[in-house]
Amino acid sequence: MKRIKIQTPAKVNLTLEILNKREDGFHNLQSIMQTISLFDYLTIEITPAEKFKIELSGNSKEIPYDETNLVYKAILKYVQRVNLNPHIIKIYIKKNIPVCAGLAGGSSNGAGVFYGLNKLFGNVLNTREMDELCSSLGSDINFCYHGGCMLCTSRGEITHKLPFVEQDLTVIKPKNFGVSTKEAYSAFAQSEDKSYPDNTSKLIKLLNKGIFDKSLLFNSFEKALFPKYDTLKEIKTHVKNSLMSGSGSAFFVLEKNIETDLNKNEYIIFENLKTINYGVKEVE
């Protein structure tokens, strides 16, 4: 039996601008994504066996531990790609990243599975092959695999490294309320105002000069979702300089902690976080 423990970080979108809808049903976007110091942990065990068997477990009651979990799908993708001999593959998922929050917890877990299995089986796949595997599973997985600060384009799977700026961070999420990606894109499709300020390009130009301008933070989903959900609009109103991450429902502020008159019993607040310059990785 071999074992490895993988740390998988959450991400925030410093910008997220939806450009247009593609023929395949996805949307083209441009987004500056950034990994942060909020982590899930995967403990992966592999044991040779006569037949393949996948066993998932974890500490969260909010996620399934069956074939619908992205972790399960990632295992199947890797096994099929590498054509492994039969093994029992067990993964324990320690969740800290809220689900349905726009923080890419599931995508980061999927990237962590690829990273961990590839290490356990002797780095069978090279970086290019790992990127191909990541893009076949989901839009944010390539980014979560590499981490840091990146421009993500197409449906999110094409990544380009950007200069990293370490910053303090606070994340706020309503308790017992999430928004699925499908729901968010549906709301965007129905919204009349689909314009965007091209803040992604503006911020990249500044980053390349060593400058970061917080006023350029932007998310196309805010205009689409705020009319539907007062809960989201309330956070934007009561937390100064906050921005929704991804498709929501989490928001972030580039500050160590926040002062707000929100009822803190109704929200999960992660303070004293930082931006980080890496993605999934092995930990002790």
- Catalytic residue, chosen from 77, 95, 140, 173, is 140
Three-class DSSP category at 258:
coil
Quick one: 99 exposed, middle or buried, by C-beta within 10 A (0-12, 13-18, 19+)? Answer: middle
Q: Give dist(CA 59, CA 91) in Å, integer.
A: 12
| 8 A C-beta contact, residue 275 and residue 14 | no
| 8 A C-beta contact, residue 152 and residue 107 | no
11 is catalytic: yes
Please give the radius of gyration of the chain, using alpha carbons only, rounded to the nearest integer.
Answer: 19
Tokens found for residue 3: 């074992």
Q: Give dist(CA 173, CA 106) in Å, integer.
A: 16
The backbone torsions φ and ψ at residue 107, rounded to the nearest 5 degrees and listed phi first, read -65, -40
Q: Give dist(CA 115, CA 183) in Å, integer.
A: 30
| 8 A C-beta contact, residue 221 and residue 16 | yes
- Catalytic residue, chosen from 5, 11, 95, 223, is 11
Q: Give dist(CA 102, CA 42) in Å, integer.
A: 20
Catalytically annotated residues = 11, 140
